[in-house]
Structure 1
Amino acid sequence: MKYEQLAKDIIKNVGGKENVNSVVHCITRLRFKLKDESKAQTEVLKNMDGVVTVMKSGGQYQVVIGNHVSDVFKAVVEIGGFANSQSQDDVEEKKGSLFNRFIDMISGIFTPVLGVLAASGMIKGFNALFVALGWLDNTGGTYQILNAIGDALFYFLPIILGYTAMKKFGGTPFLGMVIAMALVYPALEGIPSAGDPLYTLFAGTIFESPVYIEFFGIPVILMTYSMSVIPIIVSAFFGAKLENFLAKVIPSVVRMFLVPMFTLLVIIPLTFIVIGPIATWASQLLGQATVAAYALSPIIAGTFVGGFWLIFVMFGLHWGLVPIAINNFTSQGFDPILAVVFAHSFALAGAILAVWIKTKNQKTKSLSAPAFISAIFGVTEPGMYGIALPLKKPFIFTIISSAIGGALLGFFGSTGYVMGGLGVFQLPSFIPPTGIDMSVIGAIIAAVVGMVLAFVLTYFFGGINKVENTVVSNEAKAEIAATSLEKTEKIEIVSPLKGEIIPLNEVADEAFASGLLGKGIAVEPTEGKLISPVSGTVSALFPTKHALGLTTDEGVELLIHIGMDTVNLGGKFFTGHVAQGDRVEKGALLVEFDIASIKKAGYKLTTPVLVTNHDVYELTTTDQKQVNVDDLLILVEKV
């Protein structure tokens, strides 16, 4: 844990965990409620590395940390065992819809690997193209090595996700990797093909499952975990919870090896015994339902399977359809089931193309290019996890367009006669022995309709520039900022408020007045409207709406904090008009607040406007005494 020692020192010097009633955090500081403030070692805390200063206000003992306060807070809560404490961010996150929370979780897990995911997808696509054009033989060494390069990440994707998911859930990343390694362990994956099963569970039902091995007498239903996503994420979630619990109950002298040992011994068998069977049975159920739906109506089946194919792949449910397709090819020489998913990669390509054209974010644009090419070639992971899912609406529009494309494939009776081929390379598999007919033309129509519809919906209704920053890592943002700074020598920060200017060193809060949280100036507002002083992105928005961060297009990072200790109002008297991640233009309304009510509640409204990454700039603040919205407030120059 990066901040473990700092957290231990903070807890020790506030009087120990037994002296803490509760702890929360705001945008810059830990806010303790202590039983006895006299037990706290204030001067020691002030002089600690990682602590900006210490404040006492509103019955709270405030340890000012800075921008990484949320990370320190997590360490403090875990080490101190403050089970009833939570950040305001946690409260807000729980209020989000289940769908949004799921998408945000998936996005956070995949963001660190987007670049290499896109690169792998392009290599796979071009390798398939070279074979289709006759430039490479798919039995030759060149093809095999290129295939290994492009396919390695996808095959061992659970291992990569084990690291990022465990990190996302607050566990030890390498534990997540080991869990995933067990899931794709070659000796276990090869067991079903090596011999006959010991016995079969639920024989004669749709849940019929051969059992090849047991774990202490408990049947283990084996499935293929390579290239899967959800099983390792679920395992990492429970693994992180178990690890954190064990870390609290196991003595520190043996914690280093007993915590990971017991975590692995519990979570890996649990995954094989519980998650595996659930995924297997769900796949079998899906396969039977699809066959029944196709028998009832090819259009209904096409709509259902085509529309939800990407979701099936995410959860590993598509494996329930593959055996049915193989059986169809073997017994009757053709298969209509997998044929109805043909349009999904083109629909995804259309959505990505719209993002590529419309986005203003250079990182998103650079990710879109290889993701689009990969999708055309039938490799959907880069576009799905890197672009569509994080932006949400493009993913929804892809599902809608895929469903319509699937319905058209069902309507035209498009059928596959050869197993294999993805994306554009799947088209030849639709040609029957008798030659090109309407079913083949229908497949082309379905692909074009799916792609065009997804493009139009995403381009006009995708809200691309509002949430595009969610697919950009911190490193990527730094690269974009550095590039922008090379082109811009001076950046003007205008006043976000109408009111009276107050020098920063006169602000009645030591953390702000000292300049340790950032350099800038303060405004005593006379109107309760906070206007965006720049064009850029809302990089942080506290749930109580009293404070927010902005990152300009040039990379300047701003912190605007409305009032002193107004976090204690819990959002009362504040109305937000933007969300974290929104793209805003200069002059846009960010927050409205009730000046009279806030003052009546006993809070000052002095509002610092700070440049938090001031170390790479030279700042000049206005010498006016009064400012209107849009008056020059701070001039930022590259050092």
Structure 2
Amino acid sequence: MSYEKLAKEIVQGVGGEKNVVSLVHCATRLRFTLKDNNKADKATLEKTAGIITVKESGGQFQVVIGNTVPEVYNAIGKVSGILNESKTEDQPKSGKKGIGSLIDVISSIFAPLLGVMAGAGILKGLLLIASNFEWLQKTDSTYIILYAAADALFYFLPALLAVTTARKFGGSIFTALTIAGALLYPTIVQLKTDGTETDFFGIPVVMMSYSSTVIPIILSVIVMSHLEKFCNRIIHESVKNFVTPLISLVVMVPLTLIVFGPFGVYVGNGIADALLAAFAFSPLLAGAILGASWQLLVIFGVHWGLVPVFINNIAVYGKDGIKPAATASVFAQTGAAFGVMLRTKNKKLKTLAGSATLSALFGITEPAVYGVTLPLKRPFIAGLIGGAVGGAIIGQAGTQAFASGAPGLLTLPIFYGPGGQGFPGLIIGISASFLISAVLAYVLGFKDPVEEDNSSAAPVNEVRLDRGAGRTGEKALSPLSGTVVSLSDVPDPAFSSEAMGKGIAIEPSAGRVVAPFDGTITVAFKKKHAIAIVSDHGAEILVHVGIDTVKLNGEHFTSHVKEGDRVSAGQLLLEFDVEQIRAAGYATVTPVIVTNTMDYIDVIELPQGQVREQDELLQIVGESSEPAVLAKTVSGAGLA
């Protein structure tokens, strides 16, 4: 694979270099912050060789690469200027608010550290094992040197977080590092160690231990970044290069020691104590919940909210009893992918599932989840069940993590503490997760993709129609112009789960909906955001413009038909203002659903990429045996 070629395609796909505010990467993903997400071509990127999938979560545009993400990240630095100093003057056109903004901040700060954190965690775990088995004594110089290598990252964590936080908020990295250095300065540490009564010009200072802490330095650097920008606006250019850092240090170091430090430590400890209390109340139940839900949290990006808690627990208590249950979820999805590999007869899927299983064993689950279990649905559910069982076992066993690192085979040593207590429970739990998920994925089954016959010149849809010999098919034409989007990527489970039926989605380039075939309007929603039509042959299609657009109460929509109207293919049914709907904060991706899918053999998506009105969109295979009335299907469904 040419990483530079892939890098160029990614830069082009995210809307070009000028559309990128910042870029970081974690173990498997490139995490872009874009000025305008609408300029990114998600559909094209997802079809690009070397990209597993594309997700938008927590204010970030995430391109999932897999194990080679560092190489692609470096290649982007070679083919563009994106990795140069943060473009602090650029801001996204419309940023996330609330929890989305918080997740964006946390992931941007911690993601760059995950690789070295995992390596240091593995080394720390191996040293714990060597010490417990008396292969090395803690007084040995060899042990001391290796332990310094393993523990330095965690001890000086505030300094590393100062760098990533300053990059995120556009502050001076060197000023941020100096503030972090002050928190760890020997005489400051000595004040805490000796219990010396401390004040700053008469203001009492509650001295805390800041090594390995997370929240204090993040809060400090965020405020420092804003203070710097203010100072740079009002101080003359001839002196601001040294006056601004002077003011930042004089203000921020005392302010951090007096306010942010104690506040951050207390808040971090409070959150940790609350979660530990949940595990103390019922470790079996808490472990089951976390084991089942961890991969769901990862999919939506909200797992970042727990990462600081894990790190804080290890810093404060020397161990963490929450993270081990999440390990069950990782091995559960690994087992589910393995079950798919054993059952599928599709050579391409078998190869994909096999390689995904191998990478997931070492903690890289994206290829397994996004490439195998989630698209097939039932294997993903099997993984949730296996994760719940394994998490319950691990929680009940009281397993602890003694260092940080992504869960996987190589990081198992981080869970081996004094006397190995809880470690057998971990082994049993992850084994149960793997085996239960693999068996369930195999037994529950899934819709095995049809093996493509490349020797045949017949189109894919013609080959698949042969399965329904003796039955007629029906084509639905595209009711919109725009970019084709997989239904599984629609941000609404009612559609992405195919609960409403099979189909496809379109990101519209124009605000028009036309009839996909000759038929009758069965439902014209009062809020004008959706319309349902049944063809003369019985196929029922729902076109739902945007997500949650029912809340607009018809604003920006104009309907041209009413229930009971006869329409012809291509006839204008509905108009809407794409830009106004987006400006109101609503996604405009439009599902096109065959709501009576169960009456047919299959629904096949025909196009990819761009589509125009009246292009062939769906092939509906087979005759309708008992046509249902669409009004009954959608009435009371609460479509939004």
Note whether the superposition's TM-score is higher than 0.5. no
Superposition TM-score, scaled by structure 2 size: 0.43
